[in-house]
Structure 1
Amino acid sequence: MSLRERYRISNVILWESSYELTASSNSGLEKVSHESHPNDIYPLVLTTATQELFGCRADEDVTKDNPYKLLKREEIIQDIKTKAAMSDFSCVKQIMMDYPEEEILLVFDIDFTYGNCFYLVLTPEGKSKLLELRYKFSRVRRKFGMPVYFSDHNAADSKDSFLECASYQDSKFSIKQIQRDCMIQAVPMLHSSSSQTEWKTQRNISTQYKPRELSTDEMESILNSESLKNFIIKMTPRILHALQQEEIVNLFTDDWKALGTEAEAGDWSGQVSKGLVLHQAFTDQKYTKDKKISSINWHPTIQGVIAVALMEKKDEQSKECAVPISRPAFIVFYCFSDPSNPQLLLECPDDIVAFEFCPSNPNIIAGGCINGQDLDDSKENKTPVVRFCAVSSLENSHKAPITDIQWLPPTFEVTRTGLPVENVYNICVQIVSCSPDCSILFWDVRMPKLMTHSLLDKKQNVDEKIPIATSSVPETFKHLDRTWKPLFGVSLPKVDTSGEYVPLKFSLEHYTCNGNSGTDTEKDAENERTEIVPEYCQLRVPSGKTLKILNDVNSRFFVGTEPLFCYNAHQWLVNTIQRSPFFKDIILTIGSWNFAIWKEGAMGGPLVVSQYFEQECTTGCWSLSRPAVFFIGKEDGSLEMWNLLENTSEPAHVHDHITNAKITSIKPWKASPKQHFLAITDDLGALRVLEIPKTLYIPSKHENLSMKKYFELEEDSLEDYLKREELWTKQKKEEEDHKKNKESEKQTKSLDDEELDKQEYSDYLMYEENILKEMGLWPEDLNSLDA
């Protein structure tokens, strides 16, 4: 029976009970006129405040269908004591004092049977009679005594039938275990035994039970027994003490884990290394001689495989050489299983400065050449040497070496106008590259719609380079070879002066949301899961009019008119720009002599700026497991580990002479939760893989939350400093204006004093002339007397 049906029956029963009580002459509650009422009923008038206080609001808490409300006797007495004669219950004060039970019944009289809208039932007998529920059932008379026929019925034939799970023999319990002999040497003899539990096949059963009920006499005897009273008196202090302990102390706290982190708790040896440990060293004199490693990347899917890009050293001897020596350029793959021999070589048309694996297909690698061309390699053929699949045309490439290259995330793509739109197949199809030629170019690996096959065949044979013992080149990107053009370019004009900025590194915010998630139906989602993603050679550049525009993508970078924000924090070239793996708006930048930490949106400057170092910084990276830790490589081959929670003015650990040359690249890798590596390359072409100890990769307690609060405090400090700086600038300007005004007033005052002196002197001369004339001593008067 549903809850609504229960309430409906209860309402009918209540009204039937009240009707019977009023119609009965033996109940003592006779239906009378407004002038009189039964002795065990007292009509009341309750104000709105009293109704809200006792929860008996008319037509809300009590209604026509549910007119009964039980009130606490102590609450009524307290209301009478508080309000005295102003209480609505003051007229029944003595009745309340003599009432034997804790609750008294209040009835909502919607028909004003006794002259008021409420009345109190003054006796427990009347309350029990009103609250007693009685059921009535009725049936048509002609249905009595009719014959009844019973027959068998199949439950599966009805619509809402119960589906039975028939018993069957489970085949997984009939597997026979085959024994085999094996030999073990220098170990204690072991005895093997096995046991198997036979699990019965599940079947449908039902059980019906009824709780055991005690009679009224048994319950009264148990409640009045001395043993129960003694047990309650004895156990009450213990239970109260236990409840008090649970309120004060968390009994389920693991004190051992509270002493340190979980991974440290499992280290019982007590011998934890505090520094980086050399795990593996890779070098090959055949391919790395007189070369340096410019870029490094771990394989995204195969563990223990790492790829490095080699390029020629720009030493003085090569600069003085008039005729350049052409040597093949490679991307070399190393493996932990065979560190002395390269596992794979990717032949490149020129030295590679930067490269990156495709996130959607690790067999595809995009690289930037030193001559400004974009390279597209494919490792589909498992041969020792694999030639590149496609290279961009020289006239449409960068005019300087490509210093950074990245794949756009598979969640979106951009049109020729820089507008972010949805990516239909959710695979990476576009590349971004930057170069010191003051441009950032966007590339698309799909075939343009206007490209013809004759143009492809014509361009394929131009400037082909003969591979060195290579196998057949995959035709995945055959349509791009020698004809690849950028989708569009972005220039970076300076804000304050003329000219353009030189981009060396860039950072994009990864858009992780799916643009189709908000509009797809369930059917579309099923089609999307079952849809087969085509090969790269079958992809075509779609029309921008048919794709959905994604408004929530951060497209600030794509505005090519002028940069949104510029700040000079480093005194030389910036070699590293990397977003934090834990905070998407925190960015680490490393220059030649210092580092800075920025927050996207904070236009006043960096949150943290280090002091200038004695040794030049060459590269750096964030830790993959600790939000407060990052690494910096130096020119003298040393490695610094910084912990922002411990100290922001000096590194937490300094590892001197990791290499004997300048560190060119650093790349962390998380092999497992208990094994972290750090790959380091140098200027001599050597690759070293260091194992990070537990103390450097296990985060401290609440480190993520502490770093979040730290960045918030730094942002507040930056805003406060900017306000103070603005105030200081204003005060300085006012002081300068005041000083200028004071000097001008001083000059004006000096001029006035000089004119006053001249005026006084002229007045003195006039006075002197008049006196001399009166005495006849003025020269003109003397001349007239002589005549």
Structure 2
Amino acid sequence: MDIFITDVKLDHSPIVPPLVLSYLEHSHSLSVSHLHWIPDHNEICVKSTHVLENVSQFSHQLVTCGIDGYVMMWDTRPQQSGKKPTSPHKTTTPPSLTDLDLTWKPFYKIPLPRSELPKTFSATRVSLRERQRGRRGRQGRGEVGDVENQQVEKGSANIHPIVSQTDAGTGPEIEGASTKYFVGTEDGEIVWGDWTPSKDQESGKFIPTRPDYFSYGHCGSVVCMERSPFFRDILLTAGGWTWAIWREGEKNGPLLSSCSCAVQYTCGTWSPSRPGVFFLCQQNGGLEVWDLMDRSHEPTLSQNISSLPITSINPFRITSKQEMLAVGDSAGTLHILDVPWALKNPSTNEDGIMEAFFERETQRVGFSSGRTAARAAAKRESMTAASAELTKEESAPEGELEPVWQEEARREYEDYLATENKLLIELGLVEPLPQDND
């Protein structure tokens, strides 16, 4: 079955039918807002949800999120076909991706309930810590000059659908593999959690774990959640009229956040070649380039690309000397931009400088949070002491408080008379009293 139609004689856009549709009753009840492929060097165990090494080096799993408040994990490997051979000399029909049509179900569902309300987080973006690597298998930060490894974040995984689920989960478990996920919501919250199931105290069954924490990051729907290609624990988010940079595990808030701009953001992405540069697109068709090595309070470059809202952006480094930026707007127009030299060539030790910058911001956020908590505790103590003093005065007998009140009133009245007499003398209305020379 040909997925793409290349007949040049067609005078209209061809309609490509879907190859596989999921089972509606087990899918998202509302719109799917984001899809994220699991990297092809690991896989999630269908039974235990542990992260295993993918020995086949083909990507078979993906993660979706929707505004219905669920994050779902899917596997594109169909079950072994149940068709029996009609002849003893024939074997069973090999599995095919079309076997999943209208029967495809997620193997794991992660609900996103709110802790204070009987509602759920409406997810618009999802991000996992592990990302797609280059063919050489990069473990940590990429080398700035390695062009192949710089495309790991936007690189596509090897997808091989004609594999049965009987071959799933055959690799060893990866020790220390992250099972954390970040979710951006329709209301601007940033949610962080762990997909590892926990044991229910009442039923004894393993159930999905509730999100660990959330923070009000933006004043509008989160439209961008991108991990830095140089630092796996650094995320860029944008929503409404603001953007923010977060660090995984830092629960005191974002490391860096912007003030509100005049136009809403629609999408964004990191630069694949410079650790301190990222791009943000706006509702009015504008493009902002932020260079944290230069300044952090305003964009380094602002340029209008289209008269319509920009809906998608994707940078691509062709060679070590050429980098392009693809931008698409709401009318379906694709704009290809050439990234200038200053925005694609990193400064000396830029990755180390940015790493130190993020570390300083982490310490600053922790210190600020600690000082805020200390001031709040001191304020509570002072209010408690004042309340105790007031209670003590109210509970004291009336005869004990009367002399104290009379003494304070007498002093205040004497001060008033002295001030009044001094003012009258200065105005010449009364003569000063003669001084006694004896």
Which residue in the other structure is 1:637 paired with? 285
Which residue in the other structure is 2:52 paired with? 421
CA distance in 2, matches of 1:716, 1:632: 27
How many residues are treated as equivalent by the alignment? Answer: 344
1:611-637: per-residue Cα shift (whole Å, max 9, x none)?
111211111110111111111111111
* Alignment CA distance shift 1:397-1:534 (3 Å): closer
The CA deviation at 1:750 is 6.6
Is 1:563 equivalent to 2:211 in the alignment?
yes
Q: Contact 1:412/1:511 (CA < 8 Å) preserved in 2?
A: no
Q: Contact 2:28/2:68 (CA < 8 Å) preserved in 1?
A: yes
* Alignment CA distance shift 1:419-1:679 (3 Å): same
Which residue in the other structure is 2:324 paired with? 677
Which residue in the other structure is 1:222 paired with? none
* Alignment CA distance shift 1:736-1:401 (3 Å): same
Which residue in the other structure is 2:141 paired with? none
Report the AA paired with residue 720 of structure 1. F
The CA deviation at 1:505 is 0.5
Q: In structure 2, which of residues 10, 16, 21 is the aligned counterpart of residue 391 of structure 1?
A: 21
CA distance in 1, matches of 2:356, 2:127: 24
Unaligned 5+ runs, structure 1: 1-329, 348-385, 455-474, 518-532, 758-787
Q: In structure 2, which of residues 265, 269, 282 is the aligned counterpart of residue 621 of structure 1?
A: 269
The CA deviation at 1:592 is 1.0
Q: In structure 2, which of residues 389, 396, 401 is the aligned counterpart of residue 742 of structure 1?
A: 389
Q: Which is higher, the Rg of structure 1 or of structure 2?
A: 1
The CA deviation at 1:536 is 2.9
Report the AA paired with residue 98 of structure 2. K
The structure in which a higher percent of residues are helix is 1
The CA deviation at 1:431 is 1.1
CA distance in 1, matches of 2:345, 2:109: 42
Which residue in the other structure is 2:191 paired with? none
Which residue in the other structure is 1:647 paired with? 295
CA distance in 2, matches of 1:680, 1:534: 26
1:371-402: per-residue Cα shift (whole Å, max 9, x none)?
xxxxxxxxxxxxxxx54321212222211111
* Alignment CA distance shift 1:332-1:638 (3 Å): farther
Percent sequence identity over aligned pairs? 29
Q: Contact 1:594/1:617 (CA < 8 Å) preserved in 2?
A: yes
* Alignment CA distance shift 1:565-1:535 (3 Å): closer
Which residue in the other structure is 1:510 paired with? 130
Q: Contact 1:389/1:476 (CA < 8 Å) preserved in 2?
A: no
CA distance in 2, matches of 1:482, 1:421: 28
CA distance in 1, matches of 2:402, 2:106: 78
Is 1:589 equivalent to 2:237 in the alignment?
yes
* Alignment CA distance shift 1:751-1:618 (3 Å): farther
CA distance in 1, matches of 2:314, 2:209: 34
1:418-447: per-residue Cα shift (whole Å, max 9, x none)?
222232312101111111011111111112
Report the AA paired with residue 705 of structure 1. G
Which residue in the other structure is 1:713 paired with? 360
Write out aligned runs for 1:537-576 (5 A): 537-542=162-167, 547-557=171-181, 558-559=195-196, 560-576=208-224
Which residue in the other structure is 2:107 paired with? 487
Higher relative contact order (CA 8 A, sep 6+): 2
* Alignment CA distance shift 1:543-1:703 (3 Å): closer
Which residue in the other structure is 2:69 paired with? 438
CA distance in 2, matches of 1:601, 1:398: 28
Report the AA paired with residue 540 of structure 1. Q
* Alignment CA distance shift 1:535-1:722 (3 Å): closer
The CA deviation at 1:573 is 0.9
RMSD: 3.2
Q: SS in structure 1 opposite 2:124?
A: coil
* Alignment CA distance shift 1:752-1:613 (3 Å): farther
TM-score, length-scaled by structure 2: 0.72
Report the AA paired with residue 488 of structure 1. Y
CA distance in 1, matches of 2:107, 2:77: 11
Which residue in the other structure is 1:447 paired with? 78
The CA deviation at 1:748 is 3.0
Report the AA paired with residue 426 of structure 1. Q
Q: Contact 1:346/1:388 (CA < 8 Å) preserved in 2?
A: no
Q: Contact 1:412/1:420 (CA < 8 Å) preserved in 2?
A: yes
Q: SS in structure 2 opposite 1:536?
A: coil
Write out aligned runs for 1:10-29 (5 A): none
Q: Contact 2:128/2:180 (CA < 8 Å) preserved in 1?
A: no
CA distance in 2, matches of 1:593, 1:582: 26
The structure in which a higher percent of residues are strand is 2
Unaligned 5+ runs, structure 2: 85-94, 138-157, 182-194, 197-207, 405-438
Report the AA paired with residue 61 of structure 2. Q
Q: SS in structure 2 opposite 1:433?
A: strand
